[in-house]
Structure 1
Amino acid sequence: MVGLDAYLLTSTGSNQPGTSPYQVGQIWNLNYLPKNTVTPPHVEDVMLQSGSLHSNLAGTDLQNFILHNCNIHNGSIGGLFGGALHTPDGHAAYIDSQNIPNHSVCFWRTDEDLDHFTSFDKDKYRYFRFPLNACFSYVGTEPVVNVIPAGTIVRMSLARWWTPPEADSEACYLQLSGWY
């Protein structure tokens, strides 16, 4: 069984195209293979071989499904991914190669409001609870909202390893993909 924490790749191990039939809230019967080589923390990667749509969940049904079938982190952003996140004041949260968690996807019940803003034409959200002040990109499919209220369940993930132009080492940056 592939859970809500899996990262669904194509049968050749590539990212799903924008035209992918898989949508949030759908339950699929899937045939898949674990990816041959994974690079931690992206250990949830699976390569889809085939699938058929089983059913759809929405609203409170989807939220209840997550509540009853997934681990949910409660508390500060600093506790996500086993406390491995770096949260530089006012900048993008990330992990580095010095402390790699054992997963790249998680659910979190926010302890503070998440405020939307745009930077370099990209949608982002900011978390602020002194002394933590961090931001992260929004990579979901739903239209952005100005505020995601405290207490909302959100799906967070770590982007693939990447070295920013101004940096000298790789990092996996935190991203938000949806709220329930």
Structure 2
Amino acid sequence: MPSVLIVSRTRMKGGNVCIGGFDIDSKESVRLLTSNGSNQLGSAPYRVGEIWDINYLPRSTVTAPHIEDVLVQSGTFYSTLASTDLQNFILQNCNVYNGSIDKLFDGALHTPTGHAAYIDSQNVPNHSVCFWRSDIDLLHFQAFEKHKYRYYNFDYDACFSYAGTEPPVDVIPAGTLVRMSLARWWTPPEAVSQACYLQLSGWY
């Protein structure tokens, strides 16, 4: 049975949560859905830093970039990593982007000035989650009663939503290890095509 490290827990509509994991044996990112392919309920026990032995099946059909979806059949809690051990594990075992926001998702992001970063169907990466150490501070702000973070320098003025379950902080210092993800495909009002918007899952 694979050992899965829980690396994120993010808020979704309807009180559900998205659980991000990392299969320690295969060294692949996974997104833990229920056995029938639904999102996990808010009461789901998985917490960041925990290691679970999880029996899961790959989802029969996936739509890029969300290729990490798996269906949990059963799971047993094993242990919990300390925060420093969790950070060290990610740095030693996972691909981490370093530097500018334009490096995320193999350069597929659109970063319109003053607006949310996103990808479109013209350039779809082969993954929807990643780890990142930004070259500048990420600054918290609120808009439309939602928590967001801003990446701002002379070249970029991009922002993205914060979807984590921990309280936001005013500043995430440059060099902090964070987890980023792409939301599911969505067609914004008055738009003619779908997009996946960038969001921050949490930091370590």
TM-score, L = length of structure 1: 0.97
- Paired with 2:124 and 2:95, the residues of 1 have a C-alpha distance of 19
- Paired with 2:52 and 2:43, the residues of 1 have a C-alpha distance of 17
Aligned to 2:61: 37
Structure 2 gaps of 5+ residues are 5-20, 23-28
Aligned to 1:18: 42
Alignment pair present for 1:51 and 2:75 = yes
- Paired with 1:84 and 1:110, the residues of 2 have a C-alpha distance of 17
Between Structure 1 and Structure 2, the one with more strand by share is: 2
**How many residue pairs are counted as aligned between the two chains?**
180
Alignment pair present for 1:156 and 2:172 = no
Alignment pair present for 1:62 and 2:96 = no
- Superposition pairs for residues 74-93 of structure 1, below 5 Å? 74-93=98-117
- Counterpart contact for 1:6–1:105, Cα < 8 Å: no
Aligned to 1:8: 32
TM-score, L = length of structure 2: 0.86
CA offset digits 1:153-175 (Å, max 9, x no partner): 00000000001113111000000
- Please give the secondary structure, in 2, of the residue aligned with 1:6: strand
- Paired with 1:137 and 1:74, the residues of 2 have a C-alpha distance of 20
- Counterpart contact for 1:33–1:49, Cα < 8 Å: yes
Identity across aligned pairs (percent)? 72
- Paired with 2:42 and 2:93, the residues of 1 have a C-alpha distance of 27
- Paired with 2:109 and 2:157, the residues of 1 have a C-alpha distance of 12
In the TM superposition, structure 1's runs of 4+ consecutive aligned residues that sit over 6 Å from their partners are none
Aligned to 1:99: 123
